[in-house]
Structure 1
Amino acid sequence: MTTASPQAPAPGRQTTFSVGLRGDPSALGDYIRQADDLGFHGVWTQDTLNDKNFSLDPLHQLSYAAAISRRMRLGISVLFSGYRNPAVLARDLATIDQLSQGRLTVGIGVGNAYHRPRLAALGIQTDRPAQRLVEGIGVMRALWGEGEADYHGEIYNFSGIRLQPKPIQRPGPPILIGARSEPALRRAVTIADGWTGAAMIPAEERDQELAILRDEFGVTKRDPASFSFSVNVYAAVEPSRELAHERVQQVLSVGFKDNPVYDVEGMAERVAIFGPPETCAEGLLKLIAKGVDEIVLHPLYDHANQLGQLAKAVELVKGALA
């Protein structure tokens, strides 16, 4: 498989920097305000089907963030298709878009196969995940339209349904697909407004994902300017690269312990940006050179302090690009 060569952002497109939203209720408000004050473009929360660790529902987190923040965009990376009824989800998302005055971005994907036995045990339909993704997006877009909605698919089939409220953003909030496999990546170019890349993916695999997406632009004749690239990145800023590496690897070793998909051994080196601010800035510049539109930085520990340190790295990047 080919890899993506470095590519500068398209003319008129400037890479933005957002941050992952933490789930600690006692610190959530302060974290959101701090990110807003530091000038980050947005905050992104994560949907999770992991029952090992404490986590808050992402939709409620974003409703809270809509009230706390002043200007940042609010994103979800990613909702699992089929986990929520798409008609109910359409109303939930439209409500958040209303509460935030049109600042919502929606990430959605099929999730990992190892989640499905537990979901099935809870009575949640897990068959035809790709079809549920495609039709679920179709249902939401139909309901976000003006007037009564009709949709006729293999899974969802209805006529004369009206949804309120409608989202402020028209025709609806941007939808980004979280995808890794080649068919899913090519599908994203066909049905979505953009793509969001997972944080635990090594740089080489991310290059392959970008190459597939760009190849599909040629196949479909789609204008790349109509599609956005967002990537999630684990990051840590410390005085020395060695200390940052140690702390990142420690967190990832706990978080991905016994994970059936991702190898935790040496994970920090493969997926994270870490070290002094200057070193982190160099890593971010490499991502920008690949044509990424948005970088979502995820501090892994000491979140308030790390947020400030990451802002310093971002300022170095902006200075280098000026």
Structure 2
Amino acid sequence: MAEVKIGYLLPTRDQAVRGGDELTRLITIAQRAEALEFGSVWAGDSPLARPRADPLVLLAAVAVATRRVTLGTAVLLPALRHPILMAHQLATLDRLTDGRLIVGMGAGFPTAGTQRQFDAIGVPFRSRVSRLEESIEAMRRLWSGKDVSFAGRHFDFRDVTLAPAPAGPTGPPIWLAGSGEPALRRVARLGDGWLPYPPAVEDYARDRATIHQTATRPVTSALYATLTLDEDPQRARELQRRSIEPYYNAPLEVIEKIQAMFAGPPSDAAVWLNSYIEAGARHIVIRLAADDHLAALEGFAASVLPRLHR
């Protein structure tokens, strides 16, 4: 079996929900995740629909505070940004990390809150998927370090050269979120990785096989998973509810039908995650729904990490 990496999502949204603005604490948590042998640290993106610290600014700070751990966005919404500026930011961040960056991207989940976010920024919501695809093409060209011209449906520019170039010749890997036939085709055509959150492992295995049968490049199979740990399953579920419902402004019962979520004892959590690993997941990004995120991180590292098939 290929090496399996376990990543950790920084609780930027959780901190914002509770009115916290101690961003340096997030850097401390990232450093602790590195010390606990997590393979990666991630930050989410949503300036208005689910407000939180800007992921690229935060990850720049984490970049200089860490040495080994991979850094990633889970996930960035490129349709909200111009690809020249976004490519410039990501190339600079990739240089700061010495090539430790993964750019997780998504189009934006179709909810009323997400649409209001696009409306406020002045980007047509219905164009978000085509903007995502066009942005990927434009950024990969810009990361070459050469003089670039681009003519697309949404973006048109001439004779642009970015500096600095990314750490590697092709730029940081781009991982795409999404499920369903159009999204899977997009991953197979454009992605270096796939970062979904299907609640059923059978769906994960089926979709992964579809991608790998049609992909035009090697694709890393990843997973975004939310966990709440407690020996009492009922207590774990109530804790998860307290965390998830203000996070999304939606009932837990709605979110768990869409996303991979677990609440219960650490031993059962390991069995659940191992089922995805057996189905082909090779990089799992863990979001911990908890009151005390540093304690939850320590607890996961002590009670679940050693049980995972890596």
User: 1:83 maps to which residue?
Assistant: 80
Question: Does residue 1:45 correspond to 2:27, yes or no?
Answer: no
Q: Residues 46 and 118 (structure 1 numbering): CA distance in 2 closer, same or farther, change over 3 Å?
A: closer
**Deviation of residue 213 (structure 1)?**
4.2
Q: 1:100 aligns with which of 71, 74, 97?
A: 97
In the other structure, the counterpart of 1:252 is 244
Partner of 1:15: 4
Helix, strand or coil for the counterpart of 1:170? coil
What's 1:7 paired with? none
CA contact (8 A) 1:138 1:151 kept: no
Query: What number of residue pairs does the alignment pair up?
Result: 297
1-structure distance, mates of 2:68, 2:108: 30
- Distance change in 2, residues 1:119/1:78 (3 Å): same
**Deviation sequence 1:186-236 (CA, Å, 0-9, x none):** 1111111011114xx4226xx435423422433x3646xx11111111112
- TM-score norm. by structure 1 comes to 0.84
CA RMSD of aligned residues (A): 2.3
* 1:97 match: secondary structure: helix
Task: For residues 49-88 of structure 1, give each alpha carbon's deviation from its aligned partner in whole angstroms, at most 9, with x where no partner exists.
Answer: 444x651011111111101112100000111132010110
CA distance in 2, matches of 1:137, 1:291: 25
Q: Deviations over 1:106-127 (max 9, x none)?
A: 0111102332344224323434
Kindly report structure 1 stretches of 4+ aligned residues shifted beyond 6 Å. none
Once residues 141 and 221 of structure 1 are traced to their aligned partners in structure 2, the CA distance between those partners, rounded to angstroms, is 18
| CA-to-aligned-CA distance 1:130-170 (integer Å, 9 cap, x gap) | 22111100110010013211323222233321111101022
TM-score when normalising by structure 2: 0.87
Equivalent residue number for residue 122 of structure 2? 123
Is 1:308 the equivalent of 2:303? no
Q: CA deviation at 1:266?
A: 7.3
Structure 1: gaps of 5 or more residues: 1-10
1:240-269 residue CA offsets vs partner (Å, 9 max, x unmatched)? 323222211222233233x4xxx5337569
| Structure 2 residue 162 is matched with structure 1 residue 169 | no
Deviation at 1:26, TM superposition (A): 4.6
Of the structure 1 ranges 86-95 and 73-82, higher mean CA displacement relative to structure 2 is found in: 73-82
Tell me the percent identity.
28
Give the distance between the partners of 2:93 and 2:185, measured in 1 at CA: 29
Output the CA distance in 1 between the equivalents of 2:215 and 2:102: 25
In 2, Cα distance between equivalents of 1:182 and 1:49: 28
Residues 140 and 19 of structure 1: CA distance in aligned 2, closer, same or farther (over 3 Å) = same
| Aligned partner of 2:253 among 247, 262, 265 | 265
1:230 is aligned, of 204, 222, 226, to 222
Q: CA deviation at 1:306?
A: 0.6
Contact 1:36–1:71, Cα closer than 8 Å, also in 2:
yes
Q: Which amino acid aligns with 1:273?
A: F
Report the Cα offset of residue 237 of structure 1: 2.1
- Which residue does the alignment assign to 1:3? none
Query: What's 1:212 paired with?
Result: 207
Indicate how the Cα distance of structure 1 residues 228 and 33 shifts in structure 2: closer, same or farther if over 3 A, else same. same
Q: Using the alignment, how far apart are the partners of 1:316 and 1:151 within structure 2?
A: 48
Deviation at 1:279, TM superposition (A): 1.6
Q: Supply the distance in 1 between the matched residues of 2:216 and 2:90 (Cα, whole angstroms).
A: 27
Tell me the equivalent position of 2:27.
29
Distance 1:169 1:189 in 2: 22
For the 8 Å contact 2:204–2:276, the answer to whether it is kept is: no
Amino acid at match of 1:239: E
Structure 2, unmatched stretches of 5+, are 16-22
User: Does the residue aligned with 1:163 lie in a helix, a strand or coil?
Assistant: coil
Choose between structure 1 and 2 for higher RCO, CA contacts under 8 A separated by at least 6 residues. 1
- Which residue does 1:292 correspond to in 2? 281
Cα distance in 2 between the residues matched to 1:56 and 1:221: 34
Quote the residue 1:5 is aligned against. none
